[in-house]
Amino acid sequence: MNWLDAQEIINAFGDYVAIAVTIIIFLETAFILTSFLPGDSLLFLTGLALATSTAWLPDWVGFILIWLAAFLGTQTGYWVGYKIGPPLFEQNRNFILNQKVLDRTHEFFEKYGTRAIVLARFVPILRALIPMLAGISRMDIKRFTRLNLLGATLWIGVFMLAGYWLGQIPYIKENLETTVILIIIGTSLLLPIELLRDRLAKNINQRKTKR
């Protein structure tokens, strides 16, 4: 089976799709090595599958299981970074893993922490990378958990609910692949746009200060 094809995954697991997607979403958000698995498209198509399914598992249970996977996966990523990150920096003082990189990572979260944790949810790969970096930089666990709760809720809400409600519209159903791609592109741009906006605002303030 092609594990990069969200539709093929859903077709393969049938009535057990919610259980399968729960496991996949956990792995996709928890570890860098499994971050290649589909996330956004899988959530959208799973929402559609739940809306049209007569499976033994109630729809609301499927939503909760997948939301828990999204939340716990990111928490796991944080703890992986928290536990193994600093030792790696201490043992591998090179151009990739060194104290300077750690300091910059810490500064990044001090500046963009809230937006980075929440908006990274909508960017493949960063979903797994950002939590690990947050753990490495020793971001406050209570703050991280609050942001993770918000991010997981928004992510599941945007993609699964969109699939659950919009996927049943005839036009959307006929152009499903295009719809999913447009949603993924649109949401993936949220973080870069926010960082660019912040950079532009900073440059404008600096010019005003010089004047």
Q: What is the pLDDT of residue 74?
A: 96
Stretch 185-208: mean pLDDT: 68
Q: Is the pLDDT of residue 2 over 90?
A: no
Rounded Cα gap, residues 41 and 142, in angstroms: 30
Q: Residue 127 CA to chain centroid, in angstroms?
A: 4
Residue 125's alpha-carbon distances to 5, 40, 81, 105, 168, in angstroms, are 16, 11, 15, 17, 29
- For the ranges 22-31, 104-113, 137-146, 147-156, which has the lowest average pLDDT? 104-113
Distances (CA, A) of 3 to 24, 38, 82: 10, 8, 29
95 band by pLDDT with thresholds 50, 70 and 90: very low
Query: Residue 190: its pLDDT value, please?
Result: 67
Q: Are 67 and 153 in contact (CB under 8 A)?
A: yes
pLDDT-based confidence at residue 211 (cuts at 50, 70, 90): low
- Note the pLDDT tens digit of each residue in 132-166: 888 988 889 999 999 999 999 999 998 999 888 88
Per cent of the chain over pLDDT 70 is 78
Give me the residue spans of the domains in the chain: 6-210
Q: Which range has the worst mean pLDDT, 4-13, 56-65, 182-191?
A: 182-191
Whole-prediction pTM value? 0.81
Instruction: Specify the pLDDT at position 182.
Output: 79
The whole-number pLDDT of residue 139 equals 87
In the block, tokens 């201490």 appear at: 90
Is 127:29 a contact under the CB 8 Å cutoff?
A: yes
Output the average pLDDT for the chain.
Answer: 82
Query: Residue 125: is its pLDDT beyond 50?
Result: yes
Neighbours of 50 (CB within 10 A): 25
41-74 pLDDT per residue, tens? 899 999 988 888 777 889 999 999 999 999 999 9
Q: Which long-range CB contacts under 8 A does 89-92 form with residues at least 24 apart?
A: 89/136
Q: What is the DSSP letter of 123?
A: S
Please state the rounded mean pLDDT for residues 82-107: 65
